[in-house]
Structures are given as structure tokens and as C-alpha cells.
């Protein structure tokens, strides 16, 4: 089906994307329900526009339990002035707003994982309608896209900014340049477990320069991780020339996820004992975690072994683990 065959999005913005100045408003998504017959989901949005220049689309809360992005973007939305900008900055601190309000990864309305819902549907669920609006209305406006993620309640990450290996090497190079400019402590050439339906993939297939982050996790933010997000987003705006002055580059260590061997999954549930912490060097074959069966004493733990040399860049966060959970992710330091 071509885009033209789709009905218009039911979402109406209360901001005008072509007006100059700073506008704070909403993406209003009609959502009829028991407690509000003609009610709506009100997704906060800020548009800051001043003259000609590139457009940056900055998003957080794609998953509702990841907080560095929303912190950096609610702060940016209230502080960035039109006179600081050459071009347009579109800020949506909490994309999947129902999930963000509930503090959950997916939407409490329809269980939708926004980052597996692209390209979405204008006549679908609430989450699919949000995806469709980004797909057809917001992404086409953008030159560069920064989508903040963290580990949420179930994962914890070394703080990194990331982009993907792409078929278009020029697009890929511009994305990695922007990752370098973000200047997180780590920069990642990122591999996805399953890229279908992701916002990342939608933006990249449109030819946009797309970068993302994983800045911590455990369902909270720290002073350090929030600071990395705030510093990084300003660096991105400076690097693209939307805000004057060059990026304030810091030290970053480049990491690579070369293949699926970087991921380790639990085959049985239980009590997890971490053997390494984030950032620790790990050798192939080393035990990275033990999983104790919890039904009885006396049984040996299951050992999760590293399938490659590298450093531990992500780990399962809660103390109990289920079969199928991602337990550890190892990345290789790029020399
Ligand atoms: Zn996420």
C-alpha cells in the first residue's frame, strides 16, 4: 500500500511546525474510554524554529521506563531559545506518552511496544497511531534524528551513543560522526537483535542521519547519566550547526558488536549472580553470571559463559531472571 492510500493520521498537533519562535503544545490523539468518552492522549511537544537551517527531531520515552532522554529533553524544551537556533528543533520528550506516565516499557492501553510498531497504522491501536504519526508526519521533516534510550527496568548499560551499520556508507559515516560529536563515554557500532518495526529502521530507510543511546538503566537515571544526556544533545545541535559553536568533544571509547555472539540469554530462570560488572574485561569462555535454581538447595548453578573477548556493556538488572532473558552483552573495544 502506498502512503497515499492510507487515511490521514487522527493525531492533531496544537503547534504549527512552520511558525517561527518557541511553541509548547501537544500531539492530541483521540482516545475514547470509560473515564473520558471524547478524551485524548496529550503528548507534549516543543517546536523551536528560527529561519532556515537543518531540522533536528529529538525524542525520549520511546520506551516509558527509560529516563535520561526525558530529563534532557524536558530541560532542553524549557531552556532553548529561538535566538539560539538556526533551523528547527522538534522535541518530544516522551513519545509513547501512556507508557511514560505508567513508568512501563510498553503502553498500558494496548501493550504496544512503540519501538516495534513502525511504520504503524492510522487506524490501528493507540501505539500504532503514534508510530504512524512519526513515520508520515515527523520523520519526513527531519534531517537528523536523536532517539534516547536506556536499559529500562530490566537492563543496565554502559553509557553509550550508537548508530548502525548501514548499506549507504555515506549515511552511515554521517551517523557515526554525529555519535562521535555526542561524546558519550562510549560510542557503539550497534547490532540489533531484531530491527523489524523499529523507529531506528524507519528513520534510516528514509535516509535520515539517525543516532540513538543506551545511557544506563534499572528504571531510573543517575546524576552522571542525566548529565551525559544533557551534554550530548547540545553537542548534537552544535555539530549540526543548529546551535552555534562546535561540539565540546570529550574522550569516547569506540565499541563494536560484531555478531550475535555478543548476546547471552538465560535458558532457565532463577537467582542471578553477576560475576563481572559493566565495563569489566571478559575473556571468551569466562563465566559472566551464574543462575541458581531457587526451588531447592544443593543444586549447582547454571553458568553463563562469554562467547567472545570484550567488555561487559550490558547486563540483566533485576535480581531474578527468567528463561529467555538477555543476561549479558559483550562488546569489543575498537583499537
Ligand atoms: Zn528503549
* Residue 119, preceding peptide bond in cis (omega within 30° of 0): yes
pLDDT at 254 over 60: yes
Q: Say how many Å lie between the CA of residue 334 and the centre of ligand 1.
A: 24
Contact (Cβ atoms closer than 8 angstroms) between residue 61 and residue 104: no
Q: What is the CA(61)–ligand 1 centre distance, in A?
A: 8
What percent of the chain has a predicted confidence (pLDDT) above 90?
A: 95
Lowest-confidence pick of 27-41, 146-160, 240-254: 240-254
Kindly report, residue by residue over 6-17, the tens digit of the pLDDT: 899 999 999 999
pLDDT > 70? residue 58: yes
CA–centroid distance, 149 to ligand 1, in Å, is 4
Ligand 1 centre to CA of 245 (Å) is: 30
Ligand 1 centroid to Cα of residue 89, in Å, is: 22
Q: What's the CA-to-centroid distance between 109 and ligand 1, angstroms?
A: 18
For residue 204, pLDDT beyond 80: yes
Confidence of residue 192 (pLDDT cuts 50, 70, 90): confident
How many Å separate Cα 233 from the centre of its chain?
13
Reported as a pLDDT band with limits 50, 70 and 90, residue 248 is confident
Q: What is the pLDDT of residue 145?
A: 98
pLDDT exceeds 90 at position 194: no
CA of 38 relative to ligand 1 center, distance in Å: 31
List of residues 6+ apart from 300 with CB closer than 8 A: none
Mean pLDDT (the chain, rounded): 96
Q: Quickly list DSSP for 250-309.
A: ---EEEE--SGGGEEE-SS-EEEEESS-TT-EE-TT-EEEEEE-SSSSSPPPEEEE-SSS
CA of 145 to the centre of ligand 1 (A): 15
In the predicted model, is pLDDT for residue 299 greater than 80?
Answer: yes
pLDDT at 335: 75
- The residue-averaged pLDDT of 312-327 equals 98
Ligand 1 centroid to Cα of residue 78, in Å, is 24
What's the CA gap between 20 and 242, in Å, rounded?
14
196 CA → ligand 1 middle, Å: 15
34 C-alpha to center of ligand 1: Å?
30
User: From ligand 1's centre to the CA of 217, what distance in Å?
Assistant: 9
Q: How far is the CA of 255 from the centre of ligand 1 (A)?
A: 19
Question: pLDDT grade, residue 322 (50/70/90)?
Answer: very high
Distance 106 CA to ligand 1 centre (A): 10
Distance (angstroms) between ligand 1 centre and the Cα of 66 equals 6
The alpha carbon of 150 and the centre of ligand 1 are apart by a number of angstroms equal to 5
Q: What is the model's pLDDT at position 3?
A: 52
pLDDT at position 4 over 80: no
Q: Which grid coordinates are listed for 154?
A: 530490566
pLDDT digits (tens, 9 = 90+) for 65-111: 999 999 999 999 999 999 999 999 999 999 999 999 999 999 999 99
Distance 50 CA to ligand 1 centre (A): 31
Amino acid at each position: 500500500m502506498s502512503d497515499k492510500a492510507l487515511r490521514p493520521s487522527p493525531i492533531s498537533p496544537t503547534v504549527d511546525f512552520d511558525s517561527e519562535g518557541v511553541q509548547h503544545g501537544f500531539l492530541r490523539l483521540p482516545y475514547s474510554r470509560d473515564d473520558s468518552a471524547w478524551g485524548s492522549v496529550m503528548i507534549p511537544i516543543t517546536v523551536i524554529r528560527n529561519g532556515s537551517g537543518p531540522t533536528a527531531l529529538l525524542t525520549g520515552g520511546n520506551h516509558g521506563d527509560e529516563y535520561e532522554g526525558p530529563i534532557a529533553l524536558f530541560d532542553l524544551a524549557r531552556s532553548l531559545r529561538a535566538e539560539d537556533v538556526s533551523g528547527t528543533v522538534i522535541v518530544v520528550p516522551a513519545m509513547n506518552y501512556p507508557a511514560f506516565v505508567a513508568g512501563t516499557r510498553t503502553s498500558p492501553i494496548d501493550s504496544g511496544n512503540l519501538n516495534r510498531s513502525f511504520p504503524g497504522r492510522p487506524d490501528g491501536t493507540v501505539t500504532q497511531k503514534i508510530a504512524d504519526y512519526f513515520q508520515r508526519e515527523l520523520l519526513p521533516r527531519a534531517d537528523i534524528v536523536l532517539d534516547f534510550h536506556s536499559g529500562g527496568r530490566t537492563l543496565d548499560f554502559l553509557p553509550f551513543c550508537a548508530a548502525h551499520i548501514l548499506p549507504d556508507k555515506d549515511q552511515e559515516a554521517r551517523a557515526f560522526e554525529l555519535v562521535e560529536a555526542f561524546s558519550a563515554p562510549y560510542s557503539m557500532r550497534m547490532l540489533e537483535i531484531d530491527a523489524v518495526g523499529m523507529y531506528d529502521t524507519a528513520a534510516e530507510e528514509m535516509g535520515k542521519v539517525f543516532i540513538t543511546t543506551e545511557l544506563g538503566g534499572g528504571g531510573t537515571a543517575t546524576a552522571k547519566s542525566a548529565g551525559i544526556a544533557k551534554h550530548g544533545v547540545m553537542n548534537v545541535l552544535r555539530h549540526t550547526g543548529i546551535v552555534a559553536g562546535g561540539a565540546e568533544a570529550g574522550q569516547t571509547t569506540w565499541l563494536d558488536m560484531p555478531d550475535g555472539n555478543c548476546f547471552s540469554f538465560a535458558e532457565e530462570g532463577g537467582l542471578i549472580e553477576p560475576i563481572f560488572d559493566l565495563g569489566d574485561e571478559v575473556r571468551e569462555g569466562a563465566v559472566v553470571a551464574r543462575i541458581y535454581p531457587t526451588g531447592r538447595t544443593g543444586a549447582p548453578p547454571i553458568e553463563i559463559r562469554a562467547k567472545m573477548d570484550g567488555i561487559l556493556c550490558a547486563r540483566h538488572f533485576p535480581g531474578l531472571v527468567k528463561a529467555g532473558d538477555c543476561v549479558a552483552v559483550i562488546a569489543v573495544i575498537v583499537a
